[in-house]
């Protein structure tokens, strides 16, 4: 059962939450605190899976509470539920908040957010891995792409199209920007599947503030790291994303599915970045193990970490509030048996086939024709 702590200094808000979520009592163990100080006291005495807090409170406010929670109990899912919309206040929470929800928030939206993160969290057996994923604030990104991005921002007349294209060329930057528009950090959450659309929604001024002041991106210098090249991983992910979109276009006319196939393809290896940047020694051990035993990196990761980069990436994206079809596609793209369905084409299908095709340097238009069964094995 998921244990959740709701925090708000207004008693009527807590009462409304109790009434609204009454039907979840069989799934959630819920407790309520009337201040940040009371919440910290509860956290010191009990173990919680999720904290949902208001921002503007006397004494310890939401930003301070979540900073304390991140530092002391890093594996807790941290959600803001607030009517506060001032950019300056929201920027204070960027490094500590997983998902930002605006008041009023209906039960369905809140339930979806908490349930999605809890389900995917339970797929990670190792508490240390959960802590690492949950603590990730700034998105690791390729240093050369970051430098180009900053240079464009410092241009007297920056191009939002150029900024969007740069974001779309990097896995970490794509994931982080989609987090911001999928949640309610800046306005109502938007169902956006491309970094270019996300950049346009945020605008140059806000992007400049986020990147240069709030430091939402962390340029990584991993030159010489055995078995890992962020530049190569970005290149492969772009190829898989483009290939997945081609496959989706051959199989469906639904634009959302096509866009989701591209995004899931771009993010399918985001878990590799988390593991390589957070635990470089262990990641190199997994790479060496795969090479010495002639097994897959997937199997080697299981032995070293107790999980795979796919499950790590899926959990990260769920924490960052990305849509469930994207999270599921990233988590299961290697095992097509888990997503075979009758009559439904899913983004994960496109990513699975695209990943196989690109690793064999094949192009989808030479293999797949509209309406034919997709080739799972080569």
Alpha carbons 351 and 356: distance in angstroms, whole number: 9
Closest CA to 281 of 305, 309, 259, 310: 305
Q: What pLDDT sits at residue 372?
A: 52
Instruction: Report how many helices (DSSP H) and strands (DSSP E) the chain contains, helices first.
Output: 19, 7
Alpha carbons 149 and 152: distance in angstroms, whole number: 5
Q: What pLDDT sits at residue 377?
A: 44
Which letter, b or e, does each residue of 105-127 get, where b requires 16 or more Cβ atoms within 10 Å of its Cβ?
A: beeeebbebbbbbbbbbeebeee
Q: What pLDDT sits at residue 318?
A: 92
Angle, helix 280-293 to helix 270-278, in steps of 10 degrees: 110
List beta partners, residue 53: 7, 80
> Which tens digits make up the pLDDT trace of 163-195?
999 999 999 999 999 998 887 666 656 678 789
Q: What pLDDT sits at residue 335?
A: 62
Extents of the domains making up the chain: 2-122, 141-378
For the chain, residues with pLDDT lower than 50 are 338-340, 376-378
According to the CATH classification, is domain 2-122 in 3.40.50.2300? yes
> Which tens digits make up the pLDDT trace of 54-66?
999 999 999 999 9
Q: What pLDDT sits at residue 186?
A: 66
Alpha carbons 49 and 157: distance in angstroms, whole number: 45
The pTM of this model reads: 0.89
DSSP string, 271-293: HHHHHHHH-HHHHHHHHHHHHHH
Q: What pLDDT sits at residue 215?
A: 85
Q: Which fold has domain 141-378?
A: Hypothetical protein af1432 (1.10.3210)
Locate the DSSP E strands across the chain: 2-7, 28-33, 50-53, 77-82, 99-102, 139-142, 217-220
307 sits in the region (left: phi over 0; alpha: psi -120 to 50; else beta) called beta
Alpha carbons 355 and 353: distance in angstroms, whole number: 5
Closest CA to 75 of 159, 132, 7, 142: 132
Could you say which DSSP state residue 374 is in?
P
Alpha carbons 78 and 240: distance in angstroms, whole number: 32
Q: What pLDDT sits at residue 117?
A: 84
Alpha carbons 199 and 84: distance in angstroms, whole number: 23
């Amino acid at each position: 059962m998921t244990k959740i702590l709701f925090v708000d200094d207004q008693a009527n808000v807590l009462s409304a939450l109790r009434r609204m979520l009454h039907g979840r009592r069989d799934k959630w163990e819920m407790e309520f605190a009337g201040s940040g100080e009371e919440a910290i006291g509860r956290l010191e005495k009990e173990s919680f899976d999720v904290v949902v807090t208001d921002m503007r409170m006397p004494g310890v406010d939401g930003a301070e509470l979540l900073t304390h929670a991140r530092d002391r109990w890093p594996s807790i899912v941290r959600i803001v539920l607030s009517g506060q919309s001032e950019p300056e206040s929201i920027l204070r929470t960027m490094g500590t908040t997983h998902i930002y929800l605006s008041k009023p928030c209906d039960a369905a939206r809140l339930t979806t957010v908490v349930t999605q993160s809890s389900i995917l969290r339970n797929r990670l057996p190792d508490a240390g891995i959960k802590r690492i994923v949950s603590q990730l604030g700034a998105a690791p990104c390729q240093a050369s792409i970051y430098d180009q991005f900053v240079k464009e921002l410092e241009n007297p007349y920056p191009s939002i199209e150029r900024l969007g294209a740069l974001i779309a060329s990097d896995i970490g930057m794509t994931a982080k920007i989609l987090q911001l528009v999928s949640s309610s950090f800046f306005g109502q959450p938007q169902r956006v599947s491309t970094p270019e659309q996300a950049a346009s929604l945020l605008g140059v001024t806000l992007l400049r503030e986020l990147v240069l002041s709030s430091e939402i991106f962390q340029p990584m210098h991993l030159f010489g790291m055995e078995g890992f090249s962020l530049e190569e991983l970005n290149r492969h992910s772009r190829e898989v994303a483009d290939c997945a979109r081609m496959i989706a276009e051959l199989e469906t006319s639904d634009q959302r599915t096509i866009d989701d196939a591209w995004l899931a393809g771009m993010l399918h290896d985001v878990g590799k970045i988390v593991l390589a940047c957070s635990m470089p020694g262990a990641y190199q051990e997994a790479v060496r193990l795969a090479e010495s035993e002639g097994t897959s990196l997937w199997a080697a990761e299981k032995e070293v970490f107790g999980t795979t980069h796919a499950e790590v990436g899926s959990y990260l994206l769920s924490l960052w509030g990305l849509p469930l079809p994207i999270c599921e596609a990233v988590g299961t793209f290697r095992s097509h048996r888990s997503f075979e369905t009758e009559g439904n084409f899913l983004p994960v299908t496109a990513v699975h086939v695209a990943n196989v095709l690109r690793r064999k340097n094949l192009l989808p238009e030479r293999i797949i024709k509209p309406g034919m069964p997709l080739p799972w094995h080569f």
